[in-house]
Structure 1
Amino acid sequence: MDNRLEEYILSHIDPEPELLKEIDREVHVKLLHASMMSGHLQGRLLKMLTRMIRPERVLEIGTFVGYSTLCFAEGLEENGEVHTIEIDDELEDFIRSNFAKSELANKIKLHIGDATQIIPEFEDESFGLAFIDADKELYWKYFEATLPKIRKGGFILVDNTLWYGKVVEKVESSDRATQGILNFNEKLANDDRVEKVILPVRDGITVVRKK
């Protein structure tokens, strides 16, 4: 996106909360791969979608630093909760520190470990919304594990489904991340259990509704 257009958009949507600004600054100073964080535009979109869907429970696969988690928590009703799963235990202290600074911390349940092992522990159809933003090679596996946990009419949001535009380029066989995204997109396109649309926001967000 043209920088001027991006600046225009960000100046005409709801402002980024101060805590999220602080997290953004800290991530860019302390961590590699800061681009993995949702950021202002996507964060406000995640909050808005949560407001629209009004789930009682949200499942997030891939916490990273907790930025998107806090956006989901913002959008929840008073008694709602977010269950977020992060496989990198080295991030745990940083994540918990970010959550502890928020008045929404009581709505968040952090799980450290392999999502493919943790997701089956939840009851079927116990979530109204899920967000997949983790290992790209495992996207379809995450999706298949998540779908039974989503209530009928519930939604799954899948991040990075345009993957820097690589989905329309020639892909090297060694590029497993892009192959994983392509595999996911192709399988989802032919999956009649769900309705789906790709939004060209940031790096692509696919919105999936369970029939």
Structure 2
Amino acid sequence: MTTTESKGDYRQKEEIWFDDGREERLLEHVKTKLDPKSKNRPESVIRLIDDFGVNHNYMMNVGARKGEIVTELIAAHKPQTMIELGSYVGYSTILFAAAVRENGGHEYISFEREHKFAGVAAALVDLAGLSDIVRFVVGSSSSSLVSEHKAGRLRRADMVFLDHYKPAYVKDLKILESLGVIGVGSVLAADNVIEPGNPTYLEYVRSNTQEKHDLAAKSSGSFPSKTINQYKEYASDDTELPGVPEIVYESRLVHSHEPTGVPDGVEITICKAISS
């Protein structure tokens, strides 16, 4: 799938850039303008979301540039099951679930903490004609991962997209490791590792087994107060698991841009082995 969004197209981020009614306005925008005869519903919905970001309000979407990095990964690795942590209004959900389906996959599980955002995302996914492949899990990601696994609804993930609360990246990756959801061949794609940045996550996936053992003995790292506080009311969850330091990752950074043109990047990580 291709989209029309290009570098610098989206409006710049305002002082308040989410949860101020723009999500509901976006849904109405898409409902009003979507051509019911469109032959490619996912692409049509993505184009309308981009149009809203360009002409109305900034939207904290992955965008076309970074999105293409992930869709190329999907085409290369052909995941049967992909999960995402953080759907927001469903831009990444639609873009990546369509790619999963096009490449023979059958399941896309989206974890979104905020009920309102999940409702907008589910409505847009339905408009995109992807409800047959997408399943939403609403609630805190950390505890939801554990409960979904316990219920037998979350087993192996061939690909994971991380784009939620930045301090939760490592915590939730460790949960996925501990539950056996991550295995040899699993691919991780982590957004926003430059803007706003996630040095704790980068250190973890780039460390060897001994270094990860050493990291576990230290504090979990720190984030700027702005990063922590902007989602504070959504972020409280004490669920933790130790992870599997013996997992051997191969990781690389792919530089790109936010939809506004701000430099950013996606960290691509592959589970290569599990050492004994």
TM-score with structure 2 setting the length: 0.60
Q: Is the 8 A contact 2:83 2:110 kept in 1?
A: yes
Which of 129-138 and 145-154 deviates more?
145-154
The one of 201, 204, 214 aligned to 1:184: 201
Within 5 A, what are the aligned runs for 1:144-159? Answer: 144-147=174-177, 148-159=180-191
Corresponding position of 2:270: 209
Cα distance in structure 2, aligned partners of 1:41 and 1:93: 26
- Secondary structure in 2 matching 1:21: helix
1:106 corresponds to 2:128: no
Percent identity of paired positions between Structure 1 and Structure 2: 19
CA apart distance, 1:79: 4.9
Q: Which gives a bigger RCO, structure 1 or 2 (Cα 8 Å, sep 6+)?
A: 2
Summarize deviations over 1:53-99 as a string: whole Å, max 9, x none.
Answer: 11110010000111111121122244511000011112122112101
Higher deviation after alignment, 70-79 or 127-136? 70-79
Q: Unaligned regions of 5+ residues in structure 2, if any?
A: 1-5, 9-41, 210-247, 258-263
The normalised TM-score by structure 1 is 0.77
1:194 aligns with 2:249: yes
Partner amino acid for 2:121?
Answer: I
Which residue of 107, 124, 132 maps to 1:81? 107
Does structure 2 retain, via aligned residues, the 8 Å contact 1:125–1:151? no
- Residue 104 of structure 1 and its aligned partner are, at CA, apart by 2.2
Give the match's secondary structure for 1:198.
Answer: strand
What code does the residue aligned with 1:110 have?
A: F
Alignment of 1:1-211 (within 5 A): 6=7, 17-26=43-52, 34=59, 36-76=60-100, 77-120=103-146, 121-122=148-149, 126-147=156-177, 148-164=180-196, 181-192=198-209, 193-202=248-257, 203-211=264-272
Is contact 2:84-2:109 (8 Å) kept?
yes
Quote the Cα distance in structure 2 between the aligned partners of 1:69 and 1:199: 20
Q: 1:161-182: per-residue Cα shift (whole Å, max 9, x none)?
A: 1125xxxxxxxxxxxxx5xx12
Q: SS of 1:201's equivalent?
A: strand
Question: CA contact under 8 A between 2:88 and 2:117: conserved in structure 1?
Answer: yes
Residue 188 of structure 1 aligns with an amino acid whose one-letter code is V
> Which digits, 9 at most, give the CA deviation of each residue in 1:10-51, with x for residues without a partner?
xxxxxx9221011233456776x61x2011222233222111
Aligned residues of 1:46 and 1:71 also touching (Cα < 8 A)? no
The answer to whether the 8 A contact 1:70-1:99 is kept is yes
Instruction: Write the distance in 2 (CA, Å) between the matches of 1:125 and 1:109.
Output: 14
Is the CA contact (8 Å cut-off) linking 1:126 and 1:150 kept in structure 2? yes
The answer to which structure has the higher helix fraction is: 1
Query: Highest CA radius of gyration, 1 or 2?
Result: 2
* 3-state SS in 1 of match to 2:183: strand
Quick one: distance in 2 between partners of 1:71 and 1:157? 14
